[in-house]
Amino acid sequence: MQAPTREALRARPPLRFRAGRNATKADIFLWELDGVRLVVKDYAPRPRWVRATMGRAMVRREVRAYRLLQDLAGIPRFAGQVDSLAFAVEFVEGRDLSHFRPGEVSVEFFRKLLQLLESVHKAGVAQGDIHHRDVLVGPDDEPFLVDFSTAAFQQGPAGSWRRMIFQAACGSDRRAVLKLKHRHVPHSLTGAEHHELTHPPTWYRLGKRIRSLWRAGRRK
Ligand SMILES: Nc1ncnc2c1ncn2[C@@H]1O[C@H](COP(=O)(O)OP(=O)(O)O)[C@@H](O)[C@H]1O
Ligand SMILES: [Mg+2]
């Protein structure tokens, strides 16, 4: 499994899977060669100012996360970087959670998803902004997590602000997954999980405000 080169992408344009949802988002391509299917996330079609700033930074961040998480089932295999603006990962056959109505996904799926999230955090990575489209229901109903463009990493000494940002991002990931669990299989939420959801910590409320400002900025 190897990422295509930029020349190969130009010579045989891949199937556009999903155009960037706004001026700052990457295009998502499906690339198929010799029976191997990859997803290519590419900022090259974005305006120059996006490429030079967040495009490169997001690719660096996401590649770093995928490299750290390569041993985990539930994280697509990393195929390599195309260049500083694009990378490729294994294509996961299946659909994301936005395609499912409440009750259509099993309780077991969410148990495994919470377990996957714990392993991701133990490996020193927080996804940072889990959305229902970032959770894929893969083959055999196994959960997969994608989109590490807003990842935070475990770094810096205990008690440092970097460490606190990482911990806050882990907490926000967990809340996001519990919310998804609540939406899809509400009866399966334990008392402790329900308490967690209804008692957000102060940093979370503050973080939510900061994130909505950041998203509003990206949407412009
Ligand atoms: N490895 C993958 N396999 C299958 N689908 C994927 C994969 N990676 C991403 N996708 C799909 O493409 C969508 C967009 O990718 P994502 O990395 O979340 O980009 P964005 O930054 O635009 O949210 C995801 O919501 C998911 O549905
Ligand atoms: Mg996403």
Domains and CATH numbers, the chain: 6-90 (3.30.200), 95-219 (1.10.510.10)
What is the mean pLDDT of each successive set of 10 residues along the chain, which is 220 residues long?
A: 90 71 84 90 92 93 98 96 96 96 97 98 97 97 97 93 93 96 97 93 73 70
Q: What pLDDT is stored for residue 58 in this prediction?
A: 95
C-alpha 67/C-alpha 215 separation (Å) is: 26
According to DSSP, the residues that pair with 38 across neighbouring strands are 31, 90
What is the residue with the minimal CA distance to atom 4 of ligand 1?
Answer: 92
Q: How far is the CA of 134 from the centre of ligand 1 (A)?
A: 6
Q: What pLDDT is stored for residue 212 in this prediction?
A: 76
Rounded to 5 degrees, what angle do the CA atoms 210, 214, 215 make? 120
Evaluated on CA atoms 5, 131, 200, 202, the torsion sign reads positive
Evaluated on CA atoms 137, 139, 142, 148, the torsion sign reads negative
pTM over 0.75? The answer is yes
What is the residue with the minimal CA distance to atom 9 of ligand 1?
Answer: 146
The phi, psi pair for 96, rounded to 5°, reads -85, 165
Q: How far is the CA of 216 from the centre of ligand 2 (A)?
A: 16
